[in-house]
Amino acid sequence: MHSANSTAIADDVRLSFVSSLYEKRGTLFAGMIAHVVAATAIYLRLDDPYYLFCAFSLFGIWALRMLDMQAFDRCDKGTFVLSDTLHWERRYVAGPVAGALVLGIMCAYALVISQDPFAELVSISITLASMISVVGRNFGSKLNVDMMILAACLPLMAGFLLLRDPYMIVMAMLLLPLFLTTRDMANGVRDFLFNTVIAERKTAEIAERFDTALNNMSHGLIMLDGQGRIEVINHKAREIFELDSTMNLRGRALRAALRLRARNGSIPRENLIKISTELEKLVSGKDVRSLIKFDDKVWLEFTSRQRRSNGVVLIFEDVTSRIEQEERILHMARFDNLTGLPNRSWFREKVDLKLSKQKCERNVALVVLDIDDFKHVNDTMGHVSGDKLLSAVAARLRSMSRQKLVVSRFGGDEFVLFVPDIADEADLRETMNQVLDTLSGTYVIDRHKLFINFSAGVAMSRADTAQIEDMHIQADLALYEAKRHEKENWFLFEQEMDREYSRRQRLKTDLRDAIQTQSLTLAYQPMFNPEGTRIVGAEALSRWNHPEFGPVSPAVYISLAEEMGIVGELSRSVIVQAVRTCMEWPEEMFVSVNLSAHDLGDRAIVSVISDALSESGLAPERLQVEVTEGGLMKDLATARAVLSELRKMGMTIAIDDFGTGYSSLSYLDLLPLNKVKIDRSFVSNLTEDPRKLKLLRGVVNLARELGLDIIVEGVETEAQLTLIRDNNCADLIQGYIFGAPMLSSAFEELAIRLCQSNKSMRKLSLSGRA
């Protein structure tokens, strides 16, 4: 079954066959002349008007056919459908069939009526000669062939049969194979030509499709013969090679195409030999795939396939974008996106390469750098400005990496340098001083001048024993030590730092366990009335006695808790233990606990305190909360909200270490405070420096104007206490003069003793009055 497309082709060919019937009008004219002359000659010989009638009939048929052909010429063949083709085929058939019929009847007439040898010979000859036109001119229509043969054959056979002569009957029978053979020949010619045209059309269609596909490929294609000459080159190949589309390259060597591109400057001449060599390997079959750089920007990837016959097909594409993308991906995998410095993995590869070339007897160093107070830059100017500062630092580091250093950014504000080929510590010191001098100084960020300092930790090792991971740990320890001392400094790793680091790690692990098992204890420092006769309350202070290292300073383990993020758990443990203990004290006494910056930044502390009070049954009025300026500065809004909730619950709020910060006076107004604890720095040298007393009195008067009670801490001598009393500078006294921090049992014993003493004093007073 033919496809729709095949049917369309067949219809088109049939139209071309029908059109061929209307062509070659010169042969038609020559045939008409021969027919008319033959009929006229018979007429002149026999003087029979019938033959003259035949001559005029043949001429008339020819004239009508000419008019019909002109009508066909005027038709628009582009709009023809099959029905139109069949219509004009039938119109055409009428003319040849009429002419053949006239000739056939003329033959029969000559045989039966005229019975003249000349008439018979001429008429039969001209009729049989006309049959040649069936094969040579009228084969284009099967209907036309059949009708013409019948129109000529039947009258002639009838004429032979009507003579009733056995020989003539034989002649009639012999005409039948002749006419059938003529019919088969005509049909065979038509079918052969039809199939040939159909095949050519399909071949042309396939060739057109192939050409379309070939020239619309995203890849370039060049087909070469066995001598390396171009047989086929598609449009994409011409485009990639920048060759004129009108240039005929068939039969030319591939090198000629390369030279043409080199001539127009698309390929640097120095690359031509290398490119030709690579292509020769593909053509010869030594390579089947090759990536070739044609110039500074263009990369082509070639694949070769050997043909069954001699020759090769080269398929290639422009992979410049892919190569650039791979280079970008490789760059992203190797370099820090923000600063463009090598990242951790690429830094390690570069360092390994340096170490492989390093002399064994020389030293190498690993330096860890970070920016002092970088968090302050982010907090005050924003992270965008912080990123710009990091990029500016990276630019200065790159200027040093052009020498012998390998630099990298590991994250945040941490930069790492690898310094090869160091002679000794003096050489290292000179290098480090140069590094810090280069990096430290003024940076202009968003029109702001920032003076930036750096801290650094350094680890040094012989090149043949250097382990980068271990050196990094050591450099981090040295950096930590540098930050503990003056900034803008660097420290070289020493083994003592490692021991200290190990001790800190052990303390971190044990501190977590101690908090979970409630192994930390509380000490209580009493707060007295100025006369020292009555304990009003006590400040709860946590204490940790490590089973191996002994007593650990609160300054150490509290900072460790902050590093570990468990300072909230530490505060919760202190609060729960303090309120439970306070329940055992006389009802007029309170306990004071300290809240850290972490506590004040999380509203969950309110629930912690509320739950602790509910469990212990302690009245909120007996719990005092102390906060420091450092804890307030991180998130003042949240801290204020937390303290306001605690104040509404009935707790007392005191600001601790008052006077040591920069914004103390503003806090007195902003926060819901009840008390002010004046720092010990106001009390030291109070008796020696009159200005200290004036400053103390000024702060006290200001606080009392705001309705705040005064707690003075750090009172250690009688002279200090006397001045404070005489100038009415305290509502409560906390200091060694009355008592150092003590265990709960000692505090209870002191409270009982004072209570008994006060009772004895009151009895003596009453006795004296009596």
pLDDT mean over 403-418 = 85
pLDDT top residue among 19 and 29: 29
**Partners of 253 in beta bridges:** 229
Contact (Cβ atoms closer than 8 angstroms) between residue 743 and residue 709: no
Domains of the chain: 4-207 (no CATH), 217-324 (3.30.450.20), 336-493 (3.30.70.270), 506-673+740-759 (3.20.20.450)
Which residues lie closer than 8 Å to 734 by C-beta, 6 or more apart? 525, 526, 527, 528, 539, 677, 711, 712, 713, 714, 715
pLDDT mean over 312-326 = 78
- Give pairs for 353-362: CB < 8 Å, separation 24+: 354/406, 354/418, 354/420, 355/420, 355/463, 355/466, 358/420, 358/421, 358/463, 359/421, 359/463, 360/462, 360/463, 360/464, 361/462, 361/463, 361/464, 362/420, 362/421, 362/422, 362/423, 362/462, 362/463
pLDDT of residue 770: 44
Residue 576 has pLDDT above 60, yes or no: yes
What's the chain's average pLDDT?
Answer: 82
Quickly state the pLDDT bin for 483 (edges 50, 70, 90): confident
Residue 193 has pLDDT above 70, yes or no: no
- Express as a percent the part of the chain with pLDDT over 70: 87
Question: Which of the given ranges, 123-132, 296-305, 372-381, has the highest pLDDT on average?
Answer: 372-381
CA angle 374, 376, 382 (to 5 degrees): 95
- Rounded CA-CA distance 452/527 in Å is 45
Contact (Cβ atoms closer than 8 angstroms) between residue 34 and residue 62: no
Quickly state the pLDDT bin for 527 (edges 50, 70, 90): very high
pLDDT mean over 661-685 = 79
Residue 407 has pLDDT above 80, yes or no: yes
Q: Which of 166-170, 330-334, 553-557 has the lowest mean pLDDT?
A: 330-334
Neighbours of 708 (CB within 10 A): 20
Token readout for 103 is: 């000739």
Q: Which of 362-371, 480-489, 669-678 has the lowest mean pLDDT?
A: 480-489
Quickly state the pLDDT bin for 758 (edges 50, 70, 90): low
Quickly state the pLDDT bin for 764 (edges 50, 70, 90): low
Quickly state the pLDDT bin for 279 (edges 50, 70, 90): confident
Q: Which of 530-534, 590-594, 759-763 has the lowest mean pLDDT?
A: 759-763
Quickly state the pLDDT bin for 542 (edges 50, 70, 90): very high
Residue 418 has pLDDT above 60, yes or no: yes
